[in-house]
Structures are given as C-alpha cells and as structure tokens.
Amino acid sequence: MTVGRRGHPSRISVGRSWLSTSSETLALLRHLRAFAFGAIILPSAVEKTMGATDAAFAGSIPAIYEQYMGPMFFEPYAEDMAERLRDVRQGRILETAAGTGIVTRALVRSLPPQVEIVATDLNQAMLDLASRRLQAPNVKWQQADAQKLPFEDASFDAIVCQLGVMFFPDKLAAYREALRVLRPGGRFAFSV
Ligand SMILES: C[S@@+](CC[C@H](N)C(=O)[O-])C[C@H]1O[C@@H](n2cnc3c(N)ncnc32)[C@H](O)[C@@H]1O
C-alpha cells in the first residue's frame, strides 16, 4: 500500500486500485488508524474515536471495507471463524456486527444449508452492501444493535461476532444480550 504520493497527498493506492477523492482517502486512513493503532495496539485510542466510528460505517465506508480492508484484514479471520463453527450442523446462528457479510459468506461456504443464519449490524448501509453480495435462502439480513437485540430468549444455537465488540459502547450490555438470546449450552464465538 502506498500513502501520500508526492504531489498527490490525497490519493492512496492499494495494490492496483486508487482512491481518488480526499474524503474516501481520509475515511480509509481513519479506519486503518483505528485498527492499526487502536484495536490492535492501543484499545483506548479506539474508545476515543468510538463516537465517530459507530456512525461512520456508512457513505463510502461499506465499499471501502469490502474492497480494501476486507481482503487486507478480515477475510483470513473470517475463514478461521467459520472453521470454529463447522460442527454446527443444524439450528440457527446469529451474527452480530456482520458488516458487509465477510464472515457470513464464509459461514455459508462451510455450513450445511439447513443452518439458518441471521446476520445483523447496527448500520443498514453495511447490510445493504452485504445483501447485494449474498442472497441465500438460509440467510436473513436484519438491522440490529448488538446491545439491544430484537430476538427472543434462547432463540439461537450459536452467536458469531468478528471484530465488532470493540465498537460497542456498552460491552456488558452486548454480552448480556448474547447470553439472553443463546439457548442453554449454546456457543458465542467472537474476535477483537
Ligand atoms: C470492523 S467492522 C466488522 C464487520 C464484520 N464483522 C467483518 O469482520 O468484516 C465493525 C462492524 O460493527 C458494526 N457495529 C458497530 N456498532 C455496532 C452495534 N452497537 N451493534 C451492531 N453492530 C455494530 C459496524 O456497523 C461495522 O459493520
């Protein structure tokens, strides 16, 4: 990746693709900073940007996630996450903070079609892109805040959440909600 070429300070190249507008470039840089220096190295830094990040998964961000950050960061972890749920052979899986559906697609590839996947995210813009990429009879896309899930108690066999928990302002509420909607003995797989 190349950032800030001489004479073109607002252009970024990732592989052979170019982000040509300064707003796209700034959005990608802000998200990269949150991941490189916030989520991975300095958790407090990501907390400080939280107000902005919640609302910032819209506009050009879904496409940037899908085209640049997904291949760079999320896809290998998505494969790993799906592998951890490979033994789920029936029932219902809830995905929170599903974003543009990178994990959802990995789950669909690895699970039998009788497993129902309810893929949720706070930001409808992320789900709009996700649902354009994947339409499957066993996948339902639904807007939902992980801290206040619109589902009945004990209604899922497993919950999966990749790189979402660090964006939840009230993490305890989100963990409580996960516990509430999981059936007894169910599994909550998440990565941060
Ligand atoms: C880094 S992305 C991860 C997306 C996806 N899990 C992946 O691995 O590609 C974080 C996602 O968390 C979502 N998010 C932030 N706050 C949320 C909340 N309170 N409830 C549900 N999703 C939330 C954002 O909209 C965004 O799609």
67 plus 80 within the same structural domain: no
87 plus 67 within the same structural domain: no
78 plus 155 within the same structural domain: yes
Given 71, 102, 118, the domain boundary residue is 71
Pairing label, strands 2-5, 8-14? antiparallel
Q: How many CA atoms lie within 13 A of 161 on its CB side?
A: 24
Return the pLDDT at 116. 98
Any atom of ligand 1 within 6 Å of the Cβ of 102: yes
The Cα angle at residue 170 between residues 168 and 174, in degrees rounded to 5: 75
Return the pLDDT at 36. 52
Task: Choose the residue to mutate in 123, 131, 149 for probing ligand 1, maximizing ligand atoms within 8 Å of C-beta.
Answer: 123
Any atom of ligand 1 within 6 Å of the Cβ of 107: no
* CA 46 – ligand 1 centroid, Å: 13
Q: Give Cα separations from 62 to 8, 128, 144, 147 (angstroms).
A: 24, 9, 17, 21
Calculate the CA 83 to chain-centre distance.
17
**Which of these, 117, 138, 139, 141, lies nearest to 129 by C-alpha position?**
141
86 plus 178 within the same structural domain: yes
Residue nearest to atom 1 of ligand 1 (CA): 163
What is the rounded average pLDDT of the residues 151-179? 97
3 or 57: which leads in pLDDT = 57
pTM: 0.80
SS3 content of the chain, % helix, strand, coil (to 5): 45, 25, 30
